[in-house]
Amino acid sequence: MQESVELRDRQWNSKAAQSSHSQVNDEQGLGRVGKKQVLKRRFGFLSILGFSCTVLASWEGILSTFTVPFEDGGPAGTVYSFLVVWVGTFSTFLTLSELVSMAPTSGGQYHWVSMMSPRWCQKYLSFLTGWLIVIGWLGAFASTCYLSASQIQGLVVLNHASYTPQPWQTLLLFWAIVAFAVFVNVVTSTLLPKFEGLVLILHVCGFFAIIIPMVYLGDHNPASEVFGQFANDGGFPTQGLAFMVGMIGNMFAFTGVDAAVHMSEEIYNAERVVPQSILTSVLINGLLGFGMILSTLFTMTDATAALESPTGYPYMQIFCSSTSSLGGCTVMSAIVPILVTATAVGSLASSSRMAWSFARDRGLPGWRLLSRVNAQAVPQYSILVVTIAAILLALIILGSAAVLNDVISLCVSALYASYLISAFLLMWKRCTGGIRDPSDTPIDSVVNTAGAPLAWGPFHLRGVLGLSVNAFTVAYLTIGVFFSFWPDEMNPTASTMNWAVVGTAGTSLVSTLYYILWARKEYTGPVVDFDRT
């Protein structure tokens, strides 16, 4: 008995020593990019993998935005555009994984842009990128809350055909989901890693809970229709153009993998674990998303009924047609808004960390207050500001839900633009030989921040392979940003116009004016908290 107790004590001490050593290494690594440890590291590989997977939520996103690729591409266009986006997303996050391995900070893209930009545009380009990320993640948080709220109303319509959803009811549901996300992020903040691990299980189990009865019980379309039938309901001049416009729906389903990047300062061994988690999440969600697309297309035997579903979501009608059971359809459909609500929790966490980091570097108004954290090392004021912004943005629902859809669609254009700037600069630095081997820099020197030497992190692609991936990423993101501004149909009206360009251009203009009039005196790029010489 005594030997058992001693063995247990030795094991406990060994784990504690390893944890302490890991914490010291993480703080030293953060110090290498000029930052002090402020937030607490609570996430390991599995918990941050759960976080990445549930924020990405590809199969849930595919069901939520199914009409976009289907109407401007048909069944075949939906399938092939998903594959293009999946490959493009994986290439994009191979590139961003190289960058986060070099500088694993919560700032992410704006920090990387600052460390790689030419000196003459370093401050402004970093500042602009930071604002694009802030507005992009606000759009992502608002979009998840809105989708969940409208899907809950769709469930009510499914069971009560006489019910007519009212905008004020959507607004109240939106606010309730925001309140739940705030509760998890603030009141139970120390349990966030366990919450994300639980949601990862639900994310995978929910997929099989839907796909098995749908495929087994439903009638099936022929493979020639799924893989060979295109559509151009938007009336574009060519099928190829319609395909590119419809591809944006699948891009939205893959937006947000950089959530883990903005949690970097709360992850053990971030320079290795963050690349592993985001690439694994792209693989997992790509497989689940592709499986859901094929299952949905094969079982959607009445496309007209699905697209005209009074619930507003074709997947609910497809589930009902497959199971011929209102109860079964309701249970299957309810899984989606539950998981989308969980996505809102992660979106709030990531967007608040981004706002906190940008405020720490003096990029936001009121940065002194927004850069504070509470006793649990949670940026409560940044969470508060993001929450208030989302609550105010939701008021648009009272005017027109279509306008809100356009406002939140800017998350694709804004976030993709931030990825594009980062990827282009990395490719440029790679071509000019501006990044050293880590062994060529002293272990106690500052690297990978503005004015300091650039050094590769533990994860990077070597030689021609790395350059090819960067080049493909730049090409893919350029196409993505360009088509994210297109409407879903030719000759759009005011209600069908895609206003994302207004949000993105407006953010760029406002941030530029703010920079010229005030921020250029305060913002110098990521602040180096201390200098190692």
- Residue 281: CB atoms within 10 Å: 27
Q: Supply the pLDDT for residue 5.
A: 44
pLDDT classification of 406: cutoffs 50, 70, 90? low
DSSP string, 344-383: HHHHHHHHHHHHHHHHHTT-STTHHHHT---TTS--HHHH
Q: Supply the pLDDT for residue 409.
A: 66
Q: Is the pLDDT of residue 473 over 80?
A: yes
Coil, helix or strand for 267? strand
Mean pLDDT of 520-525: 87
Q: Supply the pLDDT for residue 204.
A: 92
Q: Supply the pLDDT for residue 129.
A: 95
Q: Is the pLDDT of residue 404 over 80?
A: no
457-465 contact pairs (CB < 8 A, 24+) = 457/98, 457/100, 457/101, 457/102, 457/103, 457/104, 457/271, 458/101, 458/271, 458/272, 459/97, 459/98, 459/101, 459/271, 459/272, 459/275, 460/98, 460/101, 460/102, 461/94, 461/98
Total structural domains within the chain: 1
Higher-pLDDT residue of 252 and 269 is: 269
CA dist 315 and 78 (Å) reads 14
Q: What is the pTM of this model?
A: 0.91
Q: Is the pLDDT of residue 313 over 70?
A: yes
Which amino acid does the sequence have at 458? Answer: P
pLDDT classification of 489: cutoffs 50, 70, 90? confident
Higher-pLDDT residue of 8 and 124 is: 124
Would you call 36 exposed, middle or buried from its count of C-beta atoms within 10 A (0-12, 13-18, 19+)? exposed
Q: What are the backbone dihedrals phi and psi of residue 454, each rounded to the nearest 5 degrees, phi first? A: -100, 135
Residues 6+ apart with CB under 8 A from 84: 247, 250
Question: 441's torsion region: left (phi>0), alpha (psi -120 to 50) or beta?
Answer: beta
**Residue 155, domain member (yes or no):** yes
Q: What are the backbone dihedrals phi and psi of residue 436, each rounded to the nearest 5 degrees, phi first? A: -90, 165
Alpha helices in 186-264 (DSSP H): 192-217, 223-228, 239-253
Distances in Å between the alpha carbon of 241 and those of 68, 72, 150, 190?
14, 9, 30, 48
Q: Is the pLDDT of residue 261 over 80?
A: yes
CA dist 226 and 231 (Å) reads 11
Mean pLDDT of 262-288: 94
**Residue 25, domain member (yes or no):** no
Among 4-8, 275-279, 472-476, the least confident range: 4-8
Residue found by looking up tokens 């924020």 in the block: 55
**Residue 450, domain member (yes or no):** no
**Residue 21, domain member (yes or no):** no
Q: Is the pLDDT of residue 400 over 80?
A: no
Residues 6+ apart with CB under 8 A from 463: none
Q: Supply the pLDDT for residue 531.
A: 53
Over residues 134-174, the pLDDT tens digits come to 999 998 899 899 999 999 999 999 999 889 889 999 999 99
pLDDT classification of 23: cutoffs 50, 70, 90? low
Distances in Å between the alpha carbon of 397 and those of 142, 149, 225, 314, 506?
11, 11, 37, 21, 20
**Residue 528, domain member (yes or no):** no
**Residue 270, domain member (yes or no):** yes
Q: Supply the pLDDT for residue 15.
A: 42
**Residue 15, domain member (yes or no):** no
Q: Is the pLDDT of residue 262 over 70?
A: yes
Mean pLDDT of 505-517: 88
Q: What are the backbone dihedrals phi and psi of residue 17, each rounded to the nearest 5 degrees, phi first? A: -65, -40
Q: Supply the pLDDT for residue 446.
A: 79
Q: How far is CA 336 from the centre of its chain?
A: 17
**Residue 26, domain member (yes or no):** no
Q: How far is CA 351 from the centre of its chain?
A: 10
Over residues 187-210, the pLDDT tens digits come to 888 888 999 889 999 999 999 999
Range of the domain at 355: 39-440+455-521
Mean pLDDT of 12-26: 50
Q: Is the pLDDT of residue 244 over 70?
A: yes
The CATH number of the domain holding residue 212 is 1.20.1740.10
Taking Cα atoms as reference points, which of 90, 79, 63 lies closest to residue 476?
A: 90
Average pLDDT across the chain, whole number: 88
Over residues 31-61, the pLDDT tens digits come to 888 888 999 999 999 999 989 988 888 899 8
Are the CB atoms for 63 and 313 separated by under 8 Å? Answer: yes
Residue found by looking up tokens 């319509």 in the block: 157
- Residue 277: CB atoms within 10 Å: 29
Q: Supply the pLDDT for residue 354.
A: 95
CA dist 304 and 362 (Å) reads 52
DSSP string, 88-130: HHHHHHHHHHHHHHH---TTTHHHHHHHHS-GGGHHHHHHHHH
